[in-house]
């Protein structure tokens, strides 16, 4: 646990890498171009090869990519479990089964920032090597805390990694954690807030929390269809329980629509990223925490 945003949790991935390593991003949204730019600045000369996980091709395409990597140049497969800007949920267990079937040694690294605490996520069961999470969504706190859950395999990679990482190195945090301390100034107020949030989660029960989010997400989708709007995620099995993104019909501008809704209904809708900002909008539901729409 570090005092940082989710971006800091991503930066700690370099604790497992060599500068010339190649990592493979399964892309269902705009995160990986931004992450690729950051990795280059941080010295990852091998770069991030981003590939869009088209639902019609599914895990079979990932299998093809890994089978063709005879020299095991790909050192990690990066996946966003719940893509905030498109409302697509990746099927992590299926991707892990592919990696095991191929016998590829890459680490499986998953961003669960917008799903942890709101949707079903199984770090151990799905054999994830590094899970990335943060405090500001399902954990019901302001931004400022980020987390890595780390497998033994990832810890072994950390011991031989050569990427410069300084503040983001796991070893300092692990050593201090043995005595209940931090190597840096902790975000004390947020830790108290996290303690209360976890107690609330335990009191309600995870199954009840997941069911509530799914019911509310279904209501948002039903409303969008009733209004004649197209949902960005086209595969029902991949619908997100926390984010619904919709396309705005031709002849209308999403920026203008969001401004109108904010002015008249005091409801903030989230914009898309990159060149689609005027074409679709996202509605987010993180109950008892915030509505980030």
pLDDT higher than 50, residue 237: yes
Residue by residue, DSSP assigns the chain as: -EES-HHHHHHGGGGG--TT-EEEEEESSSHHHHHHHHHHHTT-TT-EEEEE--TTTTHHHHHHHHHT-TT--EEEEEEESEETTTTEE--HHHHHHHHHHHT---EEEEE-TTTTTTS---TTTTT-SEEEEESSSTT-S-S-EEEEEE-HHHHHHHHH--S--GGG-HHHHHHHHTTT--SS---HHHHHHHHHHHHHHHHH-HHHHHHHHHHHHHHHHHHHHHTTPEES---GGGB-SSEEEEEPPTT--HHHHHHHHHHHH--PPEE--GGGTTTEEEEE-BTTTB---
Most confident of 8-22, 43-57, 85-99, 205-219: 205-219
Q: Determine the pLDDT at residue 26.
A: 65
Q: Higher confidence at residue 269 or residue 223?
A: 223
- Which pTM does this prediction carry? 0.85
**Does residue 124 surpass a pLDDT of 90?**
yes
Query: Per-residue confidence at 40, pLDDT binned at 50, 70, 90?
Result: low
The pLDDT score that the predictor gives to residue 105 is: 94
Q: Is the pLDDT assigned to residue 56 strictly greater than 80?
A: no
**pLDDT tens string 140-157:** 999 999 999 999 999 888
The whole-number pLDDT of residue 21 equals 56
Q: How confident is the model at residue 73 (pLDDT cuts 50, 70, 90)?
A: confident
The string of pLDDT tens digits covering residues 104-113 is: 999 999 999 9
pLDDT tens profile 185-220: 899 999 999 999 999 999 999 999 999 999 999 999
């Amino acid at each position: 646990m570090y005092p940082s945003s989710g971006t800091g949790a991503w930066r700690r991935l370099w604790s497992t890498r060599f500068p010339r390593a190649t990592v493979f991003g399964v892309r269902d949204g705009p995160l990986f171009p931004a992450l690729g730019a950051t990795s280059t600045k941080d010295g990852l000369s091998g770069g991030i090869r981003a590939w869009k996980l088209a639902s019609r091709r599914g895990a079979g395409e990932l299998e093809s990519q890994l089978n063709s990597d005879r020299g095991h140049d790909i050192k990690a497969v990066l996946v966003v479990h719940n893509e905030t800007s498109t409302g697509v949920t990746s099927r992590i267990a299926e991707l892990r089964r592919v990696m095991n079937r191929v016998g590829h040694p890459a680490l499986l690294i998953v961003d669960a920032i917008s799903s942890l605490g709101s949707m079903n996520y199984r770090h151990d069961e799905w054999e994830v090597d590094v899970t990335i999470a943060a405090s500001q969504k399902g954990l019901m706190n302001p931004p400022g805390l980020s987390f890595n859950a780390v497998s033994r395999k990832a810890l072994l990679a950390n011991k031989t990694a050569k990427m410069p990482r300084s503040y983001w190195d796991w070893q300092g945090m692990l050593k201090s954690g043995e005595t209940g301390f931090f190597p840096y100034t902790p975000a004390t107020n947020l830790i108290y807030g996290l303690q209360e949030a976890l107690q609330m989660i335990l009191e309600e029960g995870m199954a009840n929390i997941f069911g509530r989010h799914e019911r509310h997400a279904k209501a948002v989708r039903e409303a969008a269809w009733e209004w004649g709007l197209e949902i960005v995620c086209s595969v029902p099995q991949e619908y997100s329980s926390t984010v619904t993104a919709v396309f705005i019909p031709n002849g209308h501008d999403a920026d203008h629509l969001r401004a109108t809704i904010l002015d008249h209904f005091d409801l903030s809708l989230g914009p898309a990223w990159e060149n689609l900002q005027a074409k679709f909008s996202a509605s987010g539901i993180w109950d008892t925490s915030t509505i980030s729409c």
